[in-house]
Chains A and B, each alone.
Chain A
Amino acid sequence: MSTPTHTTHEYHPDSTGSKIAMWLFLFTELLLFGGMFLLYAVYRAKNPADFHYASLNLDTKVGAINTGILLTSSLTMVLAIGMLERRNRKASFWLLVITIAFGVWFLINKYIEWSHKIHHGIYPGSEELIGRTAGENLFYSLYFLMTGLHGIHVIAGLIVLGFMAWMVARPHQRSLPISALSAEARPNAVSVTVEYGVDPKLDEQKLIRLENAGLYWHLVDVIWIFLFPLFYLIS
């Protein structure tokens, strides 16, 4: 009668591999927004005066505040990662919460901006817009399209960050089902716990995931860094 065993499965995640994959995904986002920036560049080159004029109608102050918000949220994000690296899960968790709060604030500002425009009859396909010059029409269509798609990415980012906060908060040992073991190891196994990495106080896989989530969040920031001047500051 063989003795029941409680196995510890040591798992060394490939952080470089995960990082490569995350960067590849970021490249797809770069190209996605790149296509829209291409449209913007072409239409701006053809309608410089109209774009300049339409840009006056956007509130530079709100744009600037939103830029500050995202830049600061990038800071808190990177600090959250730094705290996890320094084994301070509590600080990391709260920094993530602050990052999420900044993201929500950004979206609220966006919502107010958009409502204001829509209230004045400026929205895709509106009569007011169709009645304006070609260049203004293009400017606003691009504005809604690009900030809209950016906003969707912010929302997605906030969902991911929410998961990250939850992940950081829970204690790091984890159990696996017995079927995850190889055929030879299964008969005697009673339970399987997983330890990620060499240091018992640092869950390597959590750190990798947090870093990757951070990369996504920073990309959202970088896209806004370009959106802001191109829409708000070209007057």
Chain B
Amino acid sequence: MTDAAPSYLADQRRHKGLAGWIFSTDHKRIGVLYLWSILTFFSVGVLIGVVMRLKMLWPGEHLYSAAAYNAFFTVHGVIQIFLFIIPGIPAAFGNFILPLQIGAKDVAFPRLNLLSWWVYVVGAILALTALLSGNGPPDTGWSFYVPYSLRTNTNVTLAVFAAFILGFSSILTGLNFITTIHRMRCPGMSWFRMPLFTWSLYATAWIQILATPILAITLILVMAERILNLGLFDPARGGDPLLYQHLFWIYSHPAVYIMILPAMGVISEVIPTFCRKNIYGYKAIAFSSLAIAFVGYLVWAHHMFTSGMSDTARMVFSLLTFLVAIPSGVKVFNWIATMYKGSIKIEPPMLFAMTFLFLFSIGGLTGLLNGALATDINVHETYYVVGHFHYTMFGGTGMGFFAALLYWFPKMTGKMYNKRTIVVAWAHIFVGFNMLYFTMMIMGWMGMPRRYYSYPPEFHTYHVVATIGSWLLAIGVFMFLGAFIAALRKGQPATANPWESATLEWQTPSPPPTENFHDIPTVTGGPYEYKGGHPA
């Protein structure tokens, strides 16, 4: 191919070298910057998890203090949630892939896009400062419940301020994506010809816009209370601590849909490609993304069933919680229907997509016990919940993130990774994951509370099994990530479309030129049209 345009990796414009990356407004470079930052923090979060599990090998206070354990689980949560999972797929892959998928040259506001990454970096630095300076990392849990978060001497104000700043990064991304999708689709790409990954980013962006500000005000209130002593959550002064919980979860529940919707979008891309088949029920999946985003606003207080809310509220929220499972179910059925009678090729992205289906379904089903009032009384604040949300967040979004990386890495770098290494890594991840988190659910069902550094002897064996699982999982994760580092150095060159997929991002070279397309394409059909096993 004698196309004169250099790849976005090699293109030198106003700035050279490193400056050419951190001052670049090219959505592809920004996506890569995010990818590196996000995976770095993810790795740190994994290591903290390993350190936490180490302590739990024996009951009693040893290895490090109980107070340190509180700090560890707080930091693990803050990093994995605010620095990995929430920005996660939209920031790293959305930024890179969205304009390509809709046939655009870039996002609507490239400079705002770069700003969102800088804001992310500032937030990350503030979070790290909170961990490593002054009175030490917060020990409140990542949910910063009052009154303890107002009384503890640890760096709550700084950590909360870091989360506040990170929220702006999320809002800027959402703003950019909504505008881009409304205004920059290429000729012929109507709403119902967009890929489902784009749909999922659209629904996610609305949650980012409408939910994140509530987090902002919640965090402002924590800081204001710590500094100004307003008394708004102090019962002695008329305040209601439950209102804090309401405000916190009004954001943090929709936040889990920010996490899962893009991952579901990735699955909707991978499955048609590796089944050589059009997706089953395109409109149903598109609308279900919007439905999940909408209903997701109505269920937050299912995190508060044992907090002292009114009985009416508990019943209402329990009912609404059951409703939100419906659109997720629609997706799972449609994905499986797509696989039915498809020509399935189990390449690494497909392997992880199928793993997503399995692990996320377990996560979703175990959620039912949390959503039902009677059973939730028994499992709330136990390891059961911890198992449930790791199945959905790690088994769901985490696997979706890995699938996205496996799927789009050749496009982003022009290189292919060693598939055998990936499969070996997968085996460690799969076995370790279930050893760790399924055991947690059993323990929780038996009564093991969460966030406790010690336990009675009957739980000992389970904790040992879980910890060994955590080692396998961590080894698998680092083997997985290592495969990409190796591929960057000496991977085989990849073609423009190594998976023979039908969506637009594969109709341009790997890696793409800065301008994305030599000529802006015109689209005449749906995104997943395959004939005889090849893109139509």
A–B proximity contact (CB within 8 A): yes
The answer to whether B231 touches A39 (Cβ under 8 A) is no
Interface string of B1-18 (1 = CB under 8 A from A): 000110000000110000
Q: Which residue of A lies closest to B6 (CB)?
A: A183
Q: A34 to nearest B CB, angstroms?
A: 8
B residues within 8 A CB of A149? Answer: 220
Given A28-B171, A179-B14, output 17 extra A-B contacts at Cβ < 8 Å.
Answer: A17-B179, A21-B109, A25-B171, A31-B210, A31-B211, A31-B213, A34-B213, A34-B214, A36-B217, A46-B240, A124-B230, A133-B238, A137-B238, A141-B230, A145-B221, A145-B224, A177-B14
A29 CB–B CB distance under 8 Å: yes
A199 CB–B CB distance under 8 Å: no
The answer to whether B210 touches A27 (Cβ under 8 A) is yes
The answer to whether A27 touches B238 (Cβ under 8 A) is no
A residues within 8 A CB of B4? Answer: 183
B108 CB–A CB distance under 8 Å: yes
Interface string of A13-26 (1 = CB under 8 A from B): 01011001100110
The answer to whether B232 touches A141 (Cβ under 8 A) is yes
Q: How far is the CA of A34 from the CA of B213 in the complex (A)?
A: 9
Q: Which residue of A lies closest to B238 (CB)?
A: A134
Q: Is the interface of A mostly helix, strand, loop or mixed?
A: helix
The answer to whether A25 touches B175 (Cβ under 8 A) is yes
- Size range of the chain B interface in the assembly: 35 or more
Lowest 4 A-B CB distances belong to which pairs?
Answer: A134-B238, A125-B229, A35-B217, A31-B213
Option from A34, A42, A47, A137 in Cβ contact (under 8 Å) with B231? A137
Option from A30, A135, A182 in Cβ contact (under 8 Å) with B238? A135
A138 CB–B CB distance under 8 Å: yes
A202 CB–B CB distance under 8 Å: no
The answer to whether B178 touches A14 (Cβ under 8 A) is no
The answer to whether B229 touches A32 (Cβ under 8 A) is no
The answer to whether B216 touches A27 (Cβ under 8 A) is no
CB within 8 Å of B: which A159-185 residues: 177, 179-180, 182-183
Q: A17-B183, A149-B220 are in contact. Are A130 and B231 (CB under 8 A)?
A: yes
B212 CB–A CB distance under 8 Å: yes
The answer to whether A141 touches B231 (Cβ under 8 A) is yes
Which of A's residues lie within 8 Å of B, judged by CB? 14, 16-17, 20-21, 24-25, 27-36, 38-39, 42-43, 46-47, 124-125, 130, 133-135, 137-138, 141-142, 144-145, 149, 177, 179-180, 182-183
Q: B105 to nearest A CB, angstroms?
A: 11
Q: B520 to nearest A CB, angstroms?
A: 14
Q: Which residue of B lies closest to A22 (CB)?
A: B175
Option from A42, A142, A183 in Cβ contact (under 8 Å) with B240? A42
Q: How far is the CA of A45 from the CA of B429 in the complex (A)?
A: 52
Which of B's residues lie within 8 Å of A, judged by CB? 4-5, 13-14, 108-109, 112, 171, 174-176, 178-179, 182-184, 209-214, 216-218, 220-221, 224, 228-232, 237-240, 243, 247, 250, 515
The answer to whether B238 touches A124 (Cβ under 8 A) is no
B residues within 8 A CB of A145? Answer: 221, 224, 230, 232
The answer to whether B108 touches A17 (Cβ under 8 A) is yes
B residues within 8 A CB of A142? Answer: 232
The answer to whether A35 touches B243 (Cβ under 8 A) is no
Q: List 9 A-B contacts (CB under 8 A).
A: A17-B182, A21-B175, A24-B175, A28-B209, A33-B217, A46-B240, A138-B238, A141-B231, A145-B232
Q: How far is the CA of A177 from the CA of B15 in the complex (A)?
A: 12
The answer to whether B214 touches A35 (Cβ under 8 A) is yes
Q: A166 to nearest B CB, angstroms?
A: 20
Q: A222 to nearest B CB, angstroms?
A: 16
Q: How far is the CA of A135 from the CA of B216 in the complex (A)?
A: 25
Q: A31-B214, A130-B237 are in contact. Are A24 and B232 (CB under 8 A)?
A: no
The answer to whether A35 touches B247 (Cβ under 8 A) is yes
Count CB-based A-B contacts (< 8 Å).
Answer: 107
The answer to whether B220 touches A124 (Cβ under 8 A) is no
Q: How far is the CA of A38 from the CA of B238 in the complex (A)?
A: 16
Q: A114 to nearest B CB, angstroms?
A: 13
The answer to whether B216 touches A32 (Cβ under 8 A) is yes
B residues within 8 A CB of A47? Answer: 238
Q: A28 to nearest B CB, angstroms?
A: 5
B residues within 8 A CB of A30? Answer: 213
Q: Which residue of A lies closest to B240 (CB)?
A: A42
Q: Which residue of B lies closest to A25 (CB)?
A: B175
A residues within 8 A CB of B229? Answer: 124-125
Q: A27-B209, A28-B212, A31-B213 are in contact. Are A39 and B220 (CB under 8 A)?
A: no
Q: Which residue of B lies closest to A139 (CB)?
A: B238
Q: How far is the CA of A138 from the CA of B112 in the complex (A)?
A: 38
A residues within 8 A CB of B212? Answer: 28
Which residue of B13, B228, B238 has the most chain A CB atoms within 10 A of its CB atom? B238
A residues within 8 A CB of B182? Answer: 17, 20
Q: A35-B218, A39-B232, A145-B224 are in contact. Are A20 and B209 (CB under 8 A)?
A: no
B residues within 8 A CB of A138? Answer: 231-232, 237-239
Q: How far is the CA of A25 from the CA of B172 in the complex (A)?
A: 9
A residues within 8 A CB of B231? Answer: 124-125, 130, 137-138, 141
B residues within 8 A CB of A38? Answer: 247
The answer to whether A20 touches B230 (Cβ under 8 A) is no
The answer to whether B238 touches A29 (Cβ under 8 A) is no
Q: B358 to nearest A CB, angstroms?
A: 36
Q: How far is the CA of A43 from the CA of B237 in the complex (A)?
A: 11
The answer to whether A32 touches B213 (Cβ under 8 A) is yes
Q: How far is the CA of A144 from the CA of B220 in the complex (A)?
A: 13
Option from B5, B14, B183, B220 in Cβ contact (under 8 Å) with A16? B183
The answer to whether A39 touches B213 (Cβ under 8 A) is no
Q: How far is the CA of A38 from the CA of B240 in the complex (A)?
A: 13
Q: A185 to nearest B CB, angstroms?
A: 13
Option from A27, A124, A177, A182 in Cβ contact (under 8 Å) with B228? A124
Q: B498 to nearest A CB, angstroms?
A: 28
Q: Which residue of A lies closest to B175 (CB)?
A: A24
Q: A156 to nearest B CB, angstroms?
A: 14
The answer to whether B178 touches A24 (Cβ under 8 A) is yes
A residues within 8 A CB of B178? Answer: 20-21, 24
